[in-house]
Amino acid sequence: MNLLTAQPSVAIVGATGAVGREMLSILESRHFPVSTLRLFASPRSAGAEIPFRGEMHVVEPLREACADGVDIALFSAGKSISRTWAAPFVSSGAFVIDNSSCFRMDSGVPLVIPQVNPNALSAMRDRGIIAVPNCSTIIALVAVTPLHRAIGVERMIVSTYQAASGAGAAAMQELEQQAHAFAAGKEFSTPIFGRPYLFNLFSHNSAVGEDGFNEEERKLLLETRKIWDAPAMRVAATCVRVPVLRAHAESIHLEFSRATSEAEVRELLRHAEGVRIVDDRAANRFPEPLDATGGDHVLVGRIRMDPSVPDNRGVMLFVAGDQLRKGAALDAVEIAECLMARFGASHAKGSSLAGAQ
């Protein structure tokens, strides 16, 4: 086993993007041990400087031998970059934690949410690729997995309300620009989605297959099955873009293998790692994207029994989570902390997950 040093060399591929910048912020706030930091982005961003722990770091382009000396590489630059560059980083001796969809369904690549299946890393014996699940999958499974473990989910129906952040910084800028245009009485510019985003809802902008499901919906099904190691799990999803800048929300209907109660569900969620209950019926306060923005927890509320499922086997939830943080950057850093616990000379600081195996 090739151990990590107590102060590994860390690279971020896609450092100038929304998720890449969030990774930097999280590495700093969680006091992740870093000996040297390398920042990579597209050639047009090369030469830019980004601060980290009081020092400026120059952004580099990806090029031959750029992975030399890197121990942990956090990738968030899109599927094509991951397909081209992940292997050279692994060959040079790095763990690659990849945020794209490139490797998620590869049988030899762990697909990891540290609060859900950190044991998926136990099969690793040396440097390799670890995939970060899709943001909607992460947000759903952080909330639902404690219930699945205790009660046994047989069917999950999810409707998502996905923010602009899931489509990147340019999509967030498009929504903001449309708000300014509306205030000024001007025409909307629509280069990202090709339709008005402000005051509108539309099907998630991923490709729709012959079966009528888009890629985002298919990811929720296939990734849930892999993460739970439940190839027959019944999952149906409808994924929609909403005019929210940041943080996704999801309506989740669960059908269990046995009877349960609202009290049991609340108690399980109250003790669940990564979950915060926001469920004030009197004040009509439940999970909202604005409250989830910038936070590390998945907010869970609207907890109630589903009367359409017989024998008290159905429960309904509404959840919200920050797509850029727990849905992407935070999950990647938490995986890195798990790697430090498994392969490192000493545990990473600041993580309750450091000892997860």
Statement to judge: residues 262 and 308 lie in one domain: yes
Each residue of 276-295: pLDDT tens digit? 999 999 999 999 999 999 99
> Which of the following is catalytic: 204, 248, 297, 338?
248
Model pLDDT, residue 205: 93
State which residues form the domain around 90.
10-132+327-343
Model pLDDT, residue 126: 83
Model pLDDT, residue 169: 86
DSSP structural state of residue 206: S
DSSP structural state of residue 280: B
Residue 353 forms part of a structural domain: no
Look up tokens 């049991």; give the residue.
Answer: 264
Residue 248 falls in the annotated catalytic set: yes
| Identity of the residue numbered 189 | S
CA distances from 265 to 94, 124, 162 (A): 41, 34, 25
Structure tokens at 51: 């601060």
Rounded to a whole number, what is the distance in angstroms from the first to the last CA of the chain?
A: 15
Statement to judge: residues 272 and 334 lie in one domain: no
The CA dihedral of 218, 337, 89, 57, to the nearest 10 degrees, is 110
Statement to judge: residues 225 and 78 lie in one domain: no
Residue 148 falls in the annotated catalytic set: no
53: exposed, middle or buried (C-beta count within 10 Å: 0-12, 13-18, 19+)?
exposed
Residue 58 forms part of a structural domain: yes
DSSP structural state of residue 100: S
- Local confidence band at 190 (pLDDT 50, 70, 90 cut-offs): very high
Rounded to an integer, what distance in angstroms lies between the CA atom of residue 23 and that of residue 14?
10
Average pLDDT over residues 157-172: 94
Residue 97, pLDDT above cutoff 60: yes
List residues bridging with 238 in a β-sheet. Answer: 159
Say what percent of the chain tops pLDDT 70.
Answer: 96
Statement to judge: residues 152 and 81 lie in one domain: no
Average pLDDT over residues 175-199: 97
Residue 354, pLDDT above cutoff 50: no
Statement to judge: residues 208 and 229 lie in one domain: yes
- Local confidence band at 345 (pLDDT 50, 70, 90 cut-offs): low
> pTM for this structure?
0.93
Statement to judge: residues 68 and 156 lie in one domain: no
Beta pairing class for 72-75 and 10-13: parallel
Statement to judge: residues 225 and 290 lie in one domain: yes
Residue 262 forms part of a structural domain: yes
CB atoms within 10 A of CB 308: 9
- Local confidence band at 1 (pLDDT 50, 70, 90 cut-offs): low
Beta pairing class for 234-241 and 129-131: unpaired
Residues 347/317, Cβ–Cβ less than 8 Å: no
- Local confidence band at 355 (pLDDT 50, 70, 90 cut-offs): very low
Rounded (5°) CA angle 147-152-154: 115
- Local confidence band at 123 (pLDDT 50, 70, 90 cut-offs): confident
When mean pLDDT is compared across 122-131, 241-250, 337-346, the lowest value belongs to 337-346
Residue 178 forms part of a structural domain: no
Average pLDDT over residues 140-146: 98
Structure tokens at 32: 């992740």
Residue 236 belongs to a domain with what CATH number?
3.30.360.10
Model pLDDT, residue 172: 94
Each residue of 209-220: pLDDT tens digit? 999 999 999 999
Residues 150/235, Cβ–Cβ less than 8 Å: no
Average pLDDT over residues 158-172: 94
- Local confidence band at 346 (pLDDT 50, 70, 90 cut-offs): low
Structure tokens at 308: 């359409």
Mean pLDDT rounded to a whole number for the chain: 94
Residue 52 belongs to a domain with what CATH number?
3.40.50.720
Count H helices, E strands: the chain?
8, 14
Statement to judge: residues 292 and 207 lie in one domain: yes
> Which of the following is catalytic: 102, 135, 239, 338?
135
Average pLDDT over residues 37-46: 95
Residue 150, pLDDT above cutoff 60: yes
Residue 120 forms part of a structural domain: yes
Statement to judge: residues 144 and 270 lie in one domain: yes
Provide the domain count of the chain: 2
Average pLDDT over residues 64-86: 96
Statement to judge: residues 224 and 317 lie in one domain: yes
Give one DSSP letter per residue of 281-325, joined into a string. TTTTB---HHHHTT-SSEEEEEEEE-TTSGGG-EEEEEEEE-TTI
> Own/partner pairs for 213-218, CB < 8 Å, 24+ apart?
213/237, 214/239, 215/101, 216/134, 216/136, 216/160, 216/162
